[in-house]
Structure formats: structure tokens, C-alpha cells
Structure 1
């Protein structure tokens, strides 16, 4: 069963790579896409907290 699941995981991983390659081929920024996907996995409160911390650090470094 584990071997079958590992094979499914590899197949899914390959499919994801293909989707990103297609997106890149049509002009999308895959780094930005990955960031958006990571953000969408978090709940709103967690995203807001992370953004607040980043804003605080940017201000402290004079980036804002």
C-alpha cells in the first residue's frame, strides 16, 4: 500500500510540475504563483499576522 501511495505522490508531483511549466510557458511568474498558493493555504488571521510582521520589519529597515 505504501508503495502505491508513493507512486501516486510522484505522479501528482509530476502533474504539478507540468502545470507550472505550462503556466511559465504562457507568461505567468511561477514564483508569484507559488507564493499565492502558500498564502491561500493559511487562514485569514494567520495571513494578516504574517503581513503585519513583514510590514513592521520593512518599516524598521526603511523599505516603506
Structure 2
């Protein structure tokens, strides 16, 4: 088997693997959307839930810093 054939096969395997992962990602995205829709049907606000999920991903120090800066900006603009 020539080196080009081995490289071609390796590339094909990478592409197929990426395609499978993309399909899995789409399925997970659909599941997340369905979960937000279910929560909405129970009276929860998906927009706020998305913000909470985003905040929970942040390290506590970064979250506190962001909230402090947000408070400064809101105060400067007379919001609140």
C-alpha cells in the first residue's frame, strides 16, 4: 500500500468520524431545545434559563467580576 493510499484512507476515516460526531451534536442540540421547550410549557423562561446555564459555566471569580462590572455600567446608565 503506497503512502498516498494510507494518507487517503486516514483522511477518509477522519472525515467519517467528524460526520458521525456532527450527527451526535445535532441530536444533542435537538434534545437541549426540547428540554427548554418542556421547561417553557411548565412556565419557566427559557431565555433566563440560558443565561443561568451560561453563568454556571463561568468560574466563580469571573462571574463575580462580570456582575460587578455590569453593576457599574448599569449605575452609570441609570438602570435599576
Runs of 4+ residues over 6 Å off in structure 1: none
What do you get for the CA RMSD once the two structures are aligned?
Answer: 0.8
**Which structure is higher in RCO with an 8 Å CA cutoff and minimum separation 6?**
1
- TM-score computed with the length of structure 2 as normaliser: 0.77
Number of residue pairs matched by the alignment: 64
TM-score (norm 1): 0.95
Gaps of 5+ in 1: none
**Unpaired segments ≥5 residues, structure 2:** 1-16
Largest Rg, 1 or 2: 2
